[in-house]
Amino acid sequence: MMESSGRKIIHVDMDAFFASVEQRDAPALRGKPVAVGHEAARGVVAAASYEARKFGVRSALPSVTALRRCPDLIFVPPRFAVYKEVSRQIHAIFAEYTDLIQPLSLDEAYLDVTANRRDLPTAWATAKEIRARILEETGLTASAGVSYNKFLAKLASDQRKPNGQFAVTPDMGAAWVETLPVSRFHGVGPVTAAKMRRLGIETGADLRDKPLEFLQANFGSSADWYFAIARGIDHRPVNPNRERKSSGSETTFDRDLTLDAEIEAGVLGQADDVWGWCERMQGFGRTVTVKVKYGDFQQITRSRSHSSVVDSRALLREASLMLIRSVLPTQRGIRLVGVTVSNFEHREPRTETLPLFDEAVV
């Protein structure tokens, strides 16, 4: 089962990115609990400084709740133009080491340094040098994970945060994965994690113990992925400069649905998923498409292009609901729903609804 590709992958992740940029530029904020976001009634925390995280303040938390947890919390409105400039700087540094760079968001990227431009002896040394360069040029710290595939490198970058790095070598990868909670795995969101818990799967070891047939019966097309990552296996290449033309998310229900409320809830869940991606990538589209697959596998799509980009979670939810409602009520059971955003333009989202920006809480 050991992967023997001999690849060297680094996942670089800036530490508490937006909040660190604000603390860098305003010395009065240093050492203080800072939340990037708006304090307004419906505001949401976009990013939290490490001082704020000690109080349980994290991204996607409503501002009201954040203030209750940390009364001294200082709110700072986001400055996307500055974050984008720093993002451009760190990508210029990456490009000095490899062409194989795959950005995941403004502050995170995979680098394939199997053949690196500087002829550094190891990926570990390369990661160290890149982090030092980032600190020197931006005044900000980054953490890095070094491993033989993307799945492990991303997990590893969380391990020594902030301002640290961690390597997962081929001889330790599978055993290390077994010790981790599945909720940390890429592709296991809160809903899947809860489902896994109901099935008795809490750790990588629990996941590894489940036969492929069991995973297929419970997780459909995701079974192969879960089976592989439970063994530390991930063959996905680092995809450089991948220009996404669209972003979509779909879900297959446990059973075919006919109730409007259940179907609409499914669509809203997918809209939220897609919105999370739009925010992380700062990519916003004008066209929203809802896909429906019936129990008999017949598939239809409903689509609408807006005059300007869909730039808030509320708008995307509203557009998705309108589209699904055009096929409701239904007598035929619905097996799957999906939401896709396309026709991208680059612009900043409305700031009143800004969750899910920063990295997972350490």
We find the least distance from the C-beta atom of residue 110 to Mg ion, in angstroms, to be: 13
Which of 108, 250, 279, 359 is catalytic? The answer is 108
Does position 13 bind Mg ion by CB under 5 A?
Answer: yes
Among 9, 11, 12, 17, binds Mg ion (CB under 5 A): 17
For Mg ion, give the closer residue by CB, 109 or 310: 109
Cis bond upstream, residue 162 (ω within 30): yes
* Alpha helix stretches (DSSP H) within the chain: 17-25, 50-53, 63-69, 80-95, 123-138, 150-157, 173-179, 190-198, 204-209, 212-219, 223-229, 260-281, 313-325
Counting Cα atoms < 13 Å in the Cβ hemisphere of 304 gives 14
Does position 14 bind Mg ion by CB under 5 A?
Answer: yes
How far apart, in whole angstroms, are the C-alpha atoms of residue 100 and residue 78? Answer: 30
DSSP letters along 91-102, please? HHHHHTT-S-EE
Does position 22 bind Mg ion by CB under 5 A?
Answer: no
Does position 359 bind Mg ion by CB under 5 A?
Answer: yes
For Mg ion, give the closer residue by CB, 13 or 112: 13
For Mg ion, give the closer residue by CB, 311 or 359: 359
What number of other Cβ atoms are within 10 A of residue 259's Cβ? 12
We find the least distance from the C-beta atom of residue 10 to Mg ion, in angstroms, to be: 14
Backbone angle region of 250, left / alpha / beta, with phi > 0 → left and psi within -120 to 50 → alpha = beta
Closest residue to Mg ion in the complex (CB)? 359
Counting Cα atoms < 13 Å in the Cβ hemisphere of 264 gives 13
Tell me if 58 sits within 8 A of 357, measured CB to CB.
no
Token pair 């077994």 in the structure block, residue? 178
List the x/- string, 90-109, binding to Mg ion by CB under 5 A: -----------------x--
Does position 279 bind Mg ion by CB under 5 A?
Answer: no
Count of chain residues binding Mg ion (CB under 5 A): 5
Stretch that binds Mg ion, among 9-17, 126-134, 194-202, 334-342 (CB under 5 A): 9-17
For Mg ion, give the closer residue by CB, 135 or 217: 135
Does position 18 bind Mg ion by CB under 5 A?
Answer: no
108 is an active site residue:
yes
For Mg ion, give the closer residue by CB, 3 or 107: 107
Interface residues with Mg ion (CB under 5 A) are: 13-14, 17, 107, 359
Catalytic residues: 108
